[in-house]
Chains A and B, each alone.
Chain A
Protein backbone atom coordinates (compact mmCIF):
# COMPACT_ATOMS: atom_id res chain seq x y z
CA UNK A 1 0.00 0.00 0.00
CA UNK A 2 1.45 3.39 -1.01
CA UNK A 3 1.53 5.97 1.74
CA UNK A 4 2.45 9.66 1.79
CA UNK A 5 6.13 10.13 2.55
CA UNK A 6 5.47 12.74 5.21
CA UNK A 7 3.94 10.06 7.41
CA UNK A 8 7.54 9.28 8.45
CA UNK A 9 8.36 12.57 10.25
CA UNK A 10 4.87 12.55 11.75
CA UNK A 11 5.54 9.08 13.19
CA UNK A 12 8.93 10.20 14.54
CA UNK A 13 7.42 13.22 16.30
CA UNK A 14 4.52 11.19 17.70
CA UNK A 15 6.98 8.56 18.97
CA UNK A 16 9.14 11.14 20.74
CA UNK A 17 6.10 12.69 22.43
CA UNK A 18 4.74 9.21 23.22
CA UNK A 19 8.04 8.23 24.82
CA UNK A 20 8.03 11.44 26.85
CA UNK A 21 4.55 10.81 28.24
CA UNK A 22 5.16 7.08 28.76
CA UNK A 23 7.95 7.87 31.26
CA UNK A 24 5.56 8.07 34.20
CA UNK A 25 4.92 4.34 33.79
CA UNK A 26 8.56 3.60 34.69
CA UNK A 27 9.14 5.98 37.57
CA UNK A 28 11.64 4.34 39.91
CA UNK A 29 13.90 6.04 42.43
CA UNK A 30 17.65 6.32 41.96
CA UNK A 31 18.09 5.56 45.67
CA UNK A 32 15.70 4.67 48.47
CA UNK A 33 16.54 4.84 52.16
CA UNK A 34 14.33 4.23 55.19
CA UNK A 35 15.59 5.24 58.62
CA UNK A 36 12.55 4.40 60.68
CA UNK A 37 8.76 4.58 60.47
CA UNK A 38 7.53 4.76 56.90
CA UNK A 39 4.59 6.93 57.99
CA UNK A 40 5.06 10.68 57.99
CA UNK A 41 4.63 13.84 56.01
CA UNK A 42 6.09 13.96 52.50
CA UNK A 43 8.22 16.85 51.34
CA UNK A 44 9.32 17.10 47.69
CA UNK A 45 12.42 19.14 46.93
CA UNK A 46 14.14 19.90 43.64
CA UNK A 47 17.80 19.93 44.58
CA UNK A 48 20.60 21.24 42.41
CA UNK A 49 23.51 18.83 42.83
CA UNK A 50 21.51 15.59 42.97
CA UNK A 51 22.38 14.45 39.48
CA UNK A 52 23.54 10.83 39.63
CA UNK A 53 23.57 7.80 41.87
CA UNK A 54 26.79 8.92 43.59
CA UNK A 55 25.52 12.39 44.51
CA UNK A 56 22.14 10.90 45.49
CA UNK A 57 23.84 8.49 47.91
CA UNK A 58 25.94 11.30 49.37
CA UNK A 59 22.84 13.45 49.76
CA UNK A 60 21.03 10.62 51.58
CA UNK A 61 24.01 10.15 53.95
CA UNK A 62 23.59 13.74 55.17
CA UNK A 63 20.27 12.76 56.78
CA UNK A 64 21.12 9.30 58.13
CA UNK A 65 21.29 10.35 61.78
CA UNK A 66 18.94 13.32 61.65
CA UNK A 67 16.01 12.87 64.07
CA UNK A 68 12.60 13.19 62.43
CA UNK A 69 13.67 12.01 58.96
CA UNK A 70 12.30 8.53 58.37
CA UNK A 71 12.91 8.09 54.64
CA UNK A 72 14.45 9.62 51.52
CA UNK A 73 13.84 8.76 47.89
CA UNK A 74 15.90 10.42 45.17
CA UNK A 75 15.12 10.72 41.46
CA UNK A 76 18.40 11.89 39.98
CA UNK A 77 17.23 12.47 36.41
CA UNK A 78 14.66 14.97 37.73
CA UNK A 79 16.94 16.30 40.54
CA UNK A 80 14.03 15.42 42.83
CA UNK A 81 14.21 14.30 46.47
CA UNK A 82 11.21 13.11 48.48
CA UNK A 83 11.58 13.21 52.28
CA UNK A 84 9.33 11.39 54.71
CA UNK A 85 9.56 13.30 57.98
CA UNK A 86 7.89 13.97 61.28
CA UNK A 87 6.83 17.66 61.37
CA UNK A 88 6.71 17.61 65.18
CA UNK A 89 10.48 16.90 65.24
CA UNK A 90 11.91 18.73 62.23
CA UNK A 91 10.74 21.55 59.95
CA UNK A 92 11.18 21.94 56.18
CA UNK A 93 13.49 24.91 56.83
CA UNK A 94 15.77 22.73 58.98
CA UNK A 95 15.80 20.05 56.27
CA UNK A 96 16.80 22.71 53.77
CA UNK A 97 19.53 24.06 56.05
CA UNK A 98 21.14 20.60 56.35
CA UNK A 99 21.40 20.09 52.58
CA UNK A 100 22.70 23.60 51.95
CA UNK A 101 25.31 23.51 54.70
CA UNK A 102 28.89 23.68 53.38
CA UNK A 103 30.66 20.32 53.22
CA UNK A 104 34.22 20.08 54.57
CA UNK A 105 36.67 18.75 51.99
CA UNK A 106 39.86 16.76 52.65
CA UNK A 107 42.05 19.82 52.01
CA UNK A 108 40.31 21.73 54.82
CA UNK A 109 38.26 23.96 52.54
CA UNK A 110 34.49 23.83 52.47
CA UNK A 111 32.00 24.04 49.63
CA UNK A 112 28.24 24.12 49.21
CA UNK A 113 27.35 20.98 47.26
CA UNK A 114 23.55 21.10 47.19
CA UNK A 115 21.08 23.90 46.70
CA UNK A 116 17.34 23.57 47.21
CA UNK A 117 15.54 25.09 44.23
CA UNK A 118 12.01 24.38 45.36
CA UNK A 119 10.08 22.71 48.19
CA UNK A 120 6.57 21.34 48.08
CA UNK A 121 4.77 19.62 50.93
CA UNK A 122 2.23 16.92 50.05
Chain B
Protein backbone atom coordinates (compact mmCIF):
# COMPACT_ATOMS: atom_id res chain seq x y z
CA UNK B 1 0.00 0.00 0.00
CA UNK B 2 3.00 2.25 0.56
CA UNK B 3 3.67 2.85 -3.12
CA UNK B 4 -0.06 3.25 -3.98
CA UNK B 5 0.09 6.65 -2.40
CA UNK B 6 3.24 7.53 -4.32
CA UNK B 7 1.91 6.60 -7.78
CA UNK B 8 -1.49 8.14 -7.25
CA UNK B 9 0.03 11.31 -5.82
CA UNK B 10 2.22 11.73 -8.86
CA UNK B 11 -0.72 10.98 -11.17
CA UNK B 12 -3.05 13.35 -9.36
CA UNK B 13 -0.38 16.06 -9.30
CA UNK B 14 0.00 15.84 -13.07
CA UNK B 15 -3.78 15.79 -13.55
CA UNK B 16 -4.21 18.80 -11.26
CA UNK B 17 -1.56 20.78 -13.15
CA UNK B 18 -3.45 20.05 -16.39
CA UNK B 19 -6.75 21.07 -14.77
CA UNK B 20 -5.25 24.37 -13.62
CA UNK B 21 -3.79 25.07 -17.07
CA UNK B 22 -7.14 24.37 -18.74
CA UNK B 23 -9.04 26.54 -16.29
CA UNK B 24 -6.48 29.30 -16.87
CA UNK B 25 -7.12 29.12 -20.62
CA UNK B 26 -10.87 28.71 -20.18
CA UNK B 27 -10.97 31.93 -18.18
CA UNK B 28 -9.52 33.75 -21.20
CA UNK B 29 -5.89 34.04 -20.10
CA UNK B 30 -3.23 32.95 -22.58
CA UNK B 31 -3.38 33.28 -26.34
CA UNK B 32 -5.12 30.00 -27.11
CA UNK B 33 -8.55 28.58 -26.55
CA UNK B 34 -8.78 25.60 -24.18
CA UNK B 35 -10.23 23.70 -27.16
CA UNK B 36 -6.79 23.70 -28.79
CA UNK B 37 -5.80 21.07 -26.21
CA UNK B 38 -8.44 18.52 -27.25
CA UNK B 39 -6.72 15.70 -29.14
CA UNK B 40 -10.07 14.45 -30.46
CA UNK B 41 -10.28 17.78 -32.29
CA UNK B 42 -7.40 16.43 -34.38
CA UNK B 43 -9.66 13.61 -35.60
CA UNK B 44 -12.45 16.05 -36.34
CA UNK B 45 -10.16 18.31 -38.33
CA UNK B 46 -8.83 15.62 -40.67
CA UNK B 47 -11.63 15.79 -43.25
CA UNK B 48 -11.46 19.58 -43.58
CA UNK B 49 -7.69 19.43 -43.89
CA UNK B 50 -7.73 16.80 -46.62
CA UNK B 51 -10.59 18.32 -48.62
CA UNK B 52 -10.08 22.09 -48.21
CA UNK B 53 -6.67 22.44 -46.59
CA UNK B 54 -8.37 24.28 -43.71
CA UNK B 55 -9.16 23.48 -40.10
CA UNK B 56 -12.80 23.23 -39.04
CA UNK B 57 -14.33 25.78 -36.70
CA UNK B 58 -11.99 26.55 -33.77
CA UNK B 59 -9.64 23.65 -34.41
CA UNK B 60 -5.99 24.23 -35.19
CA UNK B 61 -2.61 22.53 -35.65
CA UNK B 62 -2.21 21.80 -31.95
CA UNK B 63 -5.28 19.51 -31.98
CA UNK B 64 -3.74 17.47 -34.78
CA UNK B 65 -0.19 17.38 -33.42
CA UNK B 66 -1.47 16.30 -30.00
CA UNK B 67 -3.52 13.51 -31.59
CA UNK B 68 -0.52 12.20 -33.52
CA UNK B 69 1.76 12.43 -30.48
CA UNK B 70 -0.82 10.57 -28.40
CA UNK B 71 -1.20 7.81 -30.98
CA UNK B 72 2.53 7.27 -30.65
CA UNK B 73 2.13 7.24 -26.86
CA UNK B 74 -0.60 4.59 -27.13
CA UNK B 75 1.79 2.40 -29.14
CA UNK B 76 4.40 2.87 -26.43
CA UNK B 77 2.34 2.83 -23.26
CA UNK B 78 -1.30 2.01 -24.04
CA UNK B 79 -3.89 4.59 -22.96
CA UNK B 80 -1.58 6.35 -20.49
CA UNK B 81 -2.94 9.71 -21.60
CA UNK B 82 -6.40 8.71 -20.30
CA UNK B 83 -5.12 7.79 -16.85
CA UNK B 84 -2.39 10.38 -16.44
CA UNK B 85 -3.42 13.50 -18.36
CA UNK B 86 -7.07 13.52 -19.43
CA UNK B 87 -9.04 16.17 -17.49
CA UNK B 88 -12.38 14.47 -18.10
CA UNK B 89 -10.97 11.09 -17.06
CA UNK B 90 -9.76 12.74 -13.85
CA UNK B 91 -13.22 14.12 -13.06
CA UNK B 92 -14.75 10.72 -13.86
CA UNK B 93 -12.27 9.07 -11.49
CA UNK B 94 -13.01 11.55 -8.69
CA UNK B 95 -16.74 10.99 -9.05
CA UNK B 96 -16.10 7.25 -9.06
CA UNK B 97 -14.17 7.54 -5.78
CA UNK B 98 -16.98 9.58 -4.23
CA UNK B 99 -19.37 6.87 -5.43
CA UNK B 100 -17.15 4.29 -3.74
CA UNK B 101 -17.73 6.10 -0.44
CA UNK B 102 -21.49 6.18 -0.97
CA UNK B 103 -22.04 2.55 -1.93
CA UNK B 104 -21.52 -0.15 0.66
CA UNK B 105 -21.14 -2.58 -2.20
CA UNK B 106 -20.98 -0.89 -5.55
CA UNK B 107 -23.16 -2.55 -8.20
CA UNK B 108 -20.98 -3.81 -11.03
CA UNK B 109 -22.37 -4.13 -14.53
CA UNK B 110 -22.17 -7.72 -15.70
CA UNK B 111 -19.42 -8.61 -18.14
CA UNK B 112 -21.84 -8.91 -21.05
CA UNK B 113 -23.67 -5.66 -20.30
CA UNK B 114 -20.34 -3.87 -19.77
CA UNK B 115 -19.05 -5.18 -23.10
CA UNK B 116 -22.22 -4.18 -24.94
CA UNK B 117 -22.29 -0.68 -23.44
CA UNK B 118 -18.66 -0.16 -24.48
CA UNK B 119 -19.80 -0.37 -28.09
CA UNK B 120 -21.54 2.96 -27.53
CA UNK B 121 -18.22 4.79 -27.76
CA UNK B 122 -17.89 3.61 -31.37
CA UNK B 123 -21.39 4.99 -32.04
CA UNK B 124 -20.35 8.32 -30.47
CA UNK B 125 -17.15 8.30 -32.56
CA UNK B 126 -19.06 7.63 -35.79
CA UNK B 127 -21.70 10.28 -35.04
CA UNK B 128 -19.08 12.90 -34.09
CA UNK B 129 -17.08 12.37 -37.25
CA UNK B 130 -20.06 12.14 -39.63
CA UNK B 131 -21.68 15.33 -38.28
CA UNK B 132 -18.41 17.25 -38.20
CA UNK B 133 -17.33 16.12 -41.67
CA UNK B 134 -20.75 16.81 -43.22
CA UNK B 135 -21.35 20.20 -41.64
CA UNK B 136 -17.81 21.40 -41.03
CA UNK B 137 -18.73 22.77 -37.60
CA UNK B 138 -18.43 21.26 -34.12
CA UNK B 139 -22.18 20.93 -33.68
CA UNK B 140 -21.96 18.23 -30.99
CA UNK B 141 -20.26 20.58 -28.53
CA UNK B 142 -23.46 20.76 -26.52
CA UNK B 143 -23.09 17.05 -25.71
CA UNK B 144 -19.33 17.12 -25.09
CA UNK B 145 -18.52 17.24 -21.34
CA UNK B 146 -15.06 18.71 -22.03
CA UNK B 147 -16.55 21.65 -23.92
CA UNK B 148 -19.56 22.11 -21.62
CA UNK B 149 -17.43 22.24 -18.46
CA UNK B 150 -14.48 24.33 -19.64
CA UNK B 151 -16.54 26.76 -21.70
CA UNK B 152 -18.81 27.25 -18.68
CA UNK B 153 -21.88 26.41 -20.77
CA UNK B 154 -20.60 28.75 -23.48
CA UNK B 155 -21.52 29.32 -27.10
CA UNK B 156 -22.63 26.06 -28.73
CA UNK B 157 -24.04 24.40 -25.61
CA UNK B 158 -27.74 23.65 -25.62
CA UNK B 159 -29.16 24.73 -22.29
CA UNK B 160 -31.12 22.05 -20.49
CA UNK B 161 -29.79 19.29 -22.75
CA UNK B 162 -26.18 20.11 -21.86
CA UNK B 163 -27.07 20.24 -18.15
CA UNK B 164 -28.80 16.87 -18.52
CA UNK B 165 -25.73 15.38 -20.22
CA UNK B 166 -23.51 16.49 -17.32
CA UNK B 167 -25.95 15.24 -14.67
CA UNK B 168 -26.25 11.83 -16.37
CA UNK B 169 -22.47 11.52 -16.67
CA UNK B 170 -21.93 12.58 -13.04
CA UNK B 171 -24.59 10.19 -11.71
CA UNK B 172 -23.28 7.43 -13.98
CA UNK B 173 -19.75 7.96 -12.63
CA UNK B 174 -21.03 7.63 -9.06
CA UNK B 175 -22.29 4.16 -9.97
CA UNK B 176 -19.73 2.98 -12.53
CA UNK B 177 -16.23 4.50 -12.25
CA UNK B 178 -15.03 6.10 -15.50
CA UNK B 179 -18.61 6.01 -16.82
CA UNK B 180 -17.96 8.45 -19.69
CA UNK B 181 -14.57 6.98 -20.56
CA UNK B 182 -15.86 3.41 -20.61
CA UNK B 183 -19.01 3.93 -22.61
CA UNK B 184 -18.96 7.25 -24.47
CA UNK B 185 -15.45 8.59 -25.04
CA UNK B 186 -14.79 8.79 -28.81
CA UNK B 187 -11.06 9.37 -28.26
CA UNK B 188 -10.93 6.08 -26.35
CA UNK B 189 -12.54 4.41 -29.37
CA UNK B 190 -9.84 5.88 -31.63
CA UNK B 191 -7.13 4.54 -29.31
CA UNK B 192 -8.69 1.08 -28.91
CA UNK B 193 -7.06 -0.77 -31.84
CA UNK B 194 -3.62 0.67 -31.00
CA UNK B 195 -3.92 0.12 -27.25
CA UNK B 196 -3.67 -3.66 -27.51
CA UNK B 197 -0.31 -3.22 -29.24
CA UNK B 198 1.08 -0.94 -26.50
CA UNK B 199 4.67 -1.87 -25.68
CA UNK B 200 4.62 -1.06 -21.94
CA UNK B 201 2.19 -3.19 -19.99
CA UNK B 202 1.56 -4.66 -16.57
CA UNK B 203 2.65 -8.30 -16.32
CA UNK B 204 1.83 -10.78 -13.56
CA UNK B 205 4.00 -13.48 -12.02
CA UNK B 206 1.56 -16.39 -12.07
CA UNK B 207 3.62 -18.44 -9.61
CA UNK B 208 3.69 -15.79 -6.90
CA UNK B 209 0.13 -14.47 -7.41
CA UNK B 210 -2.48 -15.56 -4.86
CA UNK B 211 -5.32 -14.41 -7.16
CA UNK B 212 -6.88 -12.44 -4.32
CA UNK B 213 -8.52 -10.01 -6.76
CA UNK B 214 -7.34 -6.84 -5.02
CA UNK B 215 -5.95 -5.64 -8.34
CA UNK B 216 -9.32 -5.95 -10.07
CA UNK B 217 -10.96 -4.11 -7.16
CA UNK B 218 -8.45 -1.29 -7.58
CA UNK B 219 -8.74 -1.18 -11.38
CA UNK B 220 -10.84 1.77 -12.53
CA UNK B 221 -12.00 -0.27 -15.55
CA UNK B 222 -12.64 -3.49 -13.64
CA UNK B 223 -10.01 -5.44 -15.61
CA UNK B 224 -9.51 -8.94 -14.14
CA UNK B 225 -5.74 -8.50 -13.74
CA UNK B 226 -5.48 -11.54 -11.42
CA UNK B 227 -6.44 -13.84 -14.29
CA UNK B 228 -4.21 -12.34 -16.98
CA UNK B 229 -0.50 -13.12 -17.40
CA UNK B 230 -0.05 -9.82 -19.26
CA UNK B 231 -2.57 -6.98 -19.26
CA UNK B 232 -3.14 -6.34 -22.96
CA UNK B 233 -6.72 -5.17 -22.32
CA UNK B 234 -7.68 -2.23 -24.55
CA UNK B 235 -9.01 -0.22 -21.57
CA UNK B 236 -5.81 -0.39 -19.51
CA UNK B 237 -4.41 3.11 -18.91
CA UNK B 238 -1.24 1.98 -17.10
CA UNK B 239 -2.44 4.03 -14.13
CA UNK B 240 -0.58 1.61 -11.82
CA UNK B 241 -3.48 1.31 -9.35
CA UNK B 242 -3.39 -2.50 -9.68
CA UNK B 243 0.35 -2.69 -9.22
CA UNK B 244 0.33 -0.48 -6.15
CA UNK B 245 -2.65 -2.20 -4.53
CA UNK B 246 -1.13 -5.68 -4.82
CA UNK B 247 -0.38 -7.01 -1.29
CA UNK B 248 2.36 -9.32 -2.58
CA UNK B 249 5.84 -8.20 -3.52
CA UNK B 250 7.07 -8.38 -7.10
CA UNK B 251 3.91 -10.02 -8.48
CA UNK B 252 2.82 -7.25 -10.78
CA UNK B 253 5.51 -5.46 -12.75
CA UNK B 254 5.78 -2.88 -15.47
CA UNK B 255 7.34 -4.55 -18.48
CA UNK B 256 8.17 -3.65 -22.03
CA UNK B 257 7.14 -6.54 -24.25
CA UNK B 258 5.51 -7.09 -27.62
Contact = CB atoms under 8 A, between A and B. Distances in A.
B253 A2 contact: yes
Given A12-B81, A26-B65, A19 B70 contact: yes
A29 B55 CA distance: 7
Contacts of A13: 14
B175 interface: no
Given A23-B65, A77-B36, A3 B54 contact: no
Contacts of B80: 8, 11-12
Interface stretch (B56-64, B116-124, B178-186, B213-221): B56-64
B61 A23 contact: yes
Interface in B49-95: 49, 53-70, 72-73, 76-77, 80-81, 84-85
B256 A3 contact: yes
Given A1-B257, A75-B60, A30 B55 contact: yes
Contacts, number: 126
Interface of A: 1-9, 11-13, 15-16, 18-32, 46, 51-54, 75-79
Given A28-B61, A32-B54, A15 B254 contact: no
A8 B243 CA distance: 13
Contact of A22 (B33, B68, B73): B68
Given A77-B35, A78-B31, A78-B32, 12 more contacts: A3-B255, A5-B254, A11-B76, A15-B70, A16-B66, A16-B69, A28-B54, A28-B61, A53-B137, A77-B32, A77-B61, A77-B63
B61 A2 contact: no
B62 A77 contact: yes
| Interface-central residue, A24, A25, A78, by most chain B CB under 10 Å | A78
5 contacts: A6-B10, A12-B81, A12-B85, A15-B81, A78-B32
Contact of B200 (A3, A15, A20, A53): A3
